[in-house]
């Protein structure tokens, strides 16, 4: 199983890798993450980028494999995960790609870019810098209607810094996100706050919400021990 984001370079490289694997008699199936709501309208969801929702897709797919699921079962679980996941990012500063040596875009001081991509792809608007509480409301207003998420849902909330955002700031944002979800009677089953899906030294944040069913809860709960994601019994 190959689980990756919806980027032209990634797709090209995966296709070449699949061809090589198939020459060796290895069967490969894929799931392409497209959780980034601002990157394309809902009617063209297949064009959306994959962002921090990929982390939850990898967790669910990996858990299914760890439980002995075959290729089709792993693919089905990963696809269900990403289909029930929505994300939005906000950037406060650009990042510097080492091979380039300078920022590949700019954000004026006191401004923020809503819907920014992890490679610096433009967002949906540049606006005045907001407070964490205002950002939480703005981000949820974009992603909750898109699935949609409804009263009574249980969700995973993942808040990832983009590389240079203090963890304390991420928790301040999560506090308001949790409060707003509670107001809508949406229950946070598991929160994840930290640097899970970063963009070098960019300051900013991604908010990801995944709607759960019984299968996804079981797979999310499974222990994990890796460089990028570690958790133990709830």
Name the domain boundary from 50, 83, 116. 83
Reading phi first (left if > 0) and then psi (alpha if -120 to 50, else beta), residue 114 is in beta
**Residue 119 falls in the annotated catalytic set:** yes
Same domain, 168 and 55: no
The answer on 92 and 76 residing in a single domain is no
Query: Measuring CA to CA, which residue among 102, 11, 78 is closest to residue 215?
Result: 78
∠ CA 72-78-82, nearest 5°, is 145
Instruction: Mark the ranges of the chain whose per-residue pLDDT is less than 50.
Output: none
pLDDT digits (tens, 9 = 90+) for 126-145: 999 999 999 999 999 999 99
Q: Which of 30, 56, 83 is the last residue of a domain?
A: 83
pLDDT of 93-115, one tens digit each?
988 888 888 887 889 999 999 99
Hey, is 72 helix, strand or coil?
helix
Give residue 228's pLDDT.
87
Measure the CA–CA gap between 62 and 222, rounded to whole angstroms.
10
Phi-psi region of 102 (alpha: psi -120 to 50; beta: other; left: phi over 0): beta
CA torsion sign for 160, 164, 165, 167 is positive
The answer on 208 and 173 residing in a single domain is yes
The pLDDT score that the predictor gives to residue 234 is 64
Query: Among 83, 118, 142, where does a domain finish?
Result: 83
pLDDT confidence of residue 1? 94
Catalytic residue, from 45, 119, 184, 217: name it: 119
**Owning domain of residue 47:** 2-83
Residue 7 is part of a domain; what is its CATH number? 3.40.50.10440
Burial 51-61 (b: 16+ CB within 10 A, else e): bbbbbbbbbbb
**Rounded to 5°, angle at Cα 49 from 77 and 229:** 50
Helix (H) or strand (E) holding 210: strand 204-211
Residue 168 token pair: 């304390």
Nearest by Cα to 179 from 146, 216, 145, 140: 140
Output the pTM of the full model.
0.95
């Amino acid at each position: 199983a190959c689980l990756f984001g919806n980027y032209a370079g990634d797709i090209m490289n995966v296709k070449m890798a699949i061809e090589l694997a198939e020459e060796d008699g290895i069967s490969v199936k894929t799931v392409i993450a497209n959780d980034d709501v601002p990157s394309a309208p809902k009617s063209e969801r297949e064009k959306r980028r994959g962002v921090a929702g990929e982390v939850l897709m990898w967790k669910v797919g990996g858990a299914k494999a760890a439980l002995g699921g075959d290729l089709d079962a792993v693919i089905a679980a990963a696809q269900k995960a990403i289909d029930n996941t929505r994300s939005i990012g906000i950037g406060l500063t650009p990042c510097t790609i080492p091979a380039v040596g300078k920022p590949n875009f700019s954000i004026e001081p006191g401004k923020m870019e809503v819907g920014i991509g992890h490679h610096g792809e433009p967002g949906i608007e540049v606006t005045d810098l907001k407070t964490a509480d205002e950002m939480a409301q703005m981000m949820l207003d974009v992603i909750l209607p898109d699935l949609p998420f409804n009263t009574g849902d249980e969700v995973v909330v993942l808040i990832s810094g983009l590389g240079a955002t203090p963890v304390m700031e991420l928790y301040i944002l999560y506090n308001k996100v949790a409060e707003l979800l509670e107001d809508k009677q949406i229950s946070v089953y598991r929160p994840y706050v930290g640097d899970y899906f970063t963009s070098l030294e960019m300051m900013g944040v991604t908010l990801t919400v995944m709607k759960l069913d019984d299968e996804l809860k079981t797979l999310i709960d499974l222990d994990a021990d890796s460089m990028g994601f570690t958790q133990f019994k709830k």
